[in-house]
Every structure is written in C-alpha cells, then in structure tokens.
C-alpha cells in the first residue's frame, strides 16, 4: 500500500514539474511572439502615417495614385516578410511546449 502511495506521489510530482516546464516554454515563446507583433504593429503604423502624409501632400491625382501604389506594395512586402517570421515563432511555440512531454511519454510507454 505504501509503495503504491509513493508511486502515486512521484507521479503527481512529475506531472507538476512537467506542467511547470511547459508553462515556462509557452510563456517564453508567447512573449517572443507578442514582441514581434508589437514591433510589426509599430512599423505598420509608422509606414501608414508616412504614406498618409505623402498622400495629403500630393498635388495631382497621378501623384496620389503613385503614393498609394507604393504604400500598398511596401505594406504587402512587409506583411509577407513578417508572416514567415510569425510562422517560425508559432512552430517554435509548438515545439518548445511539446518538448517536456517527449520524455514523459517515453517513460510512460516504457513502463
């Protein structure tokens, strides 16, 4: 009976350790992701503000269309570049969160 209790207690302790490791990995990855989103938002706002200023200063319709076209091209290129970075960060989030489980499942399947 005591042996079963010790095993149960050890199992519970390992589970808590596992959850704490996962939370730490998730927190670190989520923080990196949030930082990247904040940087992208700031950059996008600055780009939009600069384009709006240029657009208001346009003297002709052709110049306004040119400014708008340049803004759209720049915005699209920036979005595509950041999308790749976001994909990497989400993949890292999944990998790092799963890492503590690998050893846990290996132990469980060995028993």
pLDDT at residue 1 greater than cutoff 60: no
Domain boundaries, the chain: 17-110
Which tokens hold the place of 3? 């042996």
User: Is 32 within 8 Å of 85 (Cβ atoms)?
Assistant: no
Instruction: Tell me the per-residue pLDDT of 17-45, one tens digit each, with 9 for 90 and over.
Output: 777 888 888 888 889 999 999 999 999 99
CA–CA dist 97, 85 (Å, integer): 18
Chain centre distance of CA 89: 4
pLDDT band at 10 (very low <50, low <70, confident <90, very high): low
pLDDT band at 65 (very low <50, low <70, confident <90, very high): very high
pLDDT on residue 60: 94
Above pLDDT 70, what percent of the chain?
82
Q: 0.85 exceeded by the pTM?
A: no
Give the phi and the psi of residue 58 in degrees, each rounded to 5.
-70, 130
């Amino acid at each position: 009976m005591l042996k079963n209790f010790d095993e149960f207690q050890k199992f519970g302790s390992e589970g808590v350790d596992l959850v704490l490791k996962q939370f730490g990995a998730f927190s670190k990855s989520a923080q990196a992701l949030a930082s990247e989103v904040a940087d992208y938002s700031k950059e996008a706002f600055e780009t939009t503000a600069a384009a709006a200023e240029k657009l208001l200063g346009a003297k002709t319709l052709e110049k306004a269309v040119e400014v708008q076209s340049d803004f759209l091209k720049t915005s699209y290129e920036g979005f595509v570049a950041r999308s790749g970075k976001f994909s990497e960060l989400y993949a890292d989030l999944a990998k790092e969160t799963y890492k503590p489980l690998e050893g846990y499942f290996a132990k469980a399947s060995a028993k």
